[in-house]
Amino acid sequence: MRKNSGILSMAAVGLIALATLPGCGKAKQDALGSLNAAKASMANARSVGAEKLAYATFMDAQSRLQKAESYFKDGDYSSAKKEAGKTSEIARRAQSDAESRKKSLGSKDKKIQKKTAAAKRR
């Protein structure tokens, strides 16, 4: 009888372990999805020159991405997902700031070009 209760106990532990595995996989998968989205947001920001035009904001996003990757590596998927979400948000802000700055600089360049062309005509 003792043998049977030992087997039953082991079976119960095994079933509990199996029941919790899908949850861990989902958390890891969600965190990985958030990390990939954050990396895509960073790439978009980089593509419009945010590294130079919105330096502080871009570097904040870069730092948070590194933190998210560290959490993920350590198995803290909840924190990784949260930090990756913040990374995406900040990277989008850096992208927007860089695009605005580009437009602003572009309009200043056009004004300078007009003044230069007018001076040459004189």
User: Are the C-beta atoms of 84 and 38 separated by less than 8 Å?
Assistant: yes
Nearby residues of 99 by Cβ (< 8 Å), 6 or more positions away: 48
pLDDT of 108 reads 62
What is the Cα–Cα distance from 93 to 41, expressed in whole angstroms? 10
Break the chain into its structural domains and give their ranges. Answer: 27-112
Encode pLDDT of 79-121 as tens digits: 999 999 999 999 999 999 999 999 888 866 555 555 555 556 6
Give the three-class secondary structure for 11. Answer: helix
Query: What's the predicted TM-score (pTM) here?
Result: 0.70
Name the nearest CA neighbour of 42 among 63, 19, 61, 22: 61
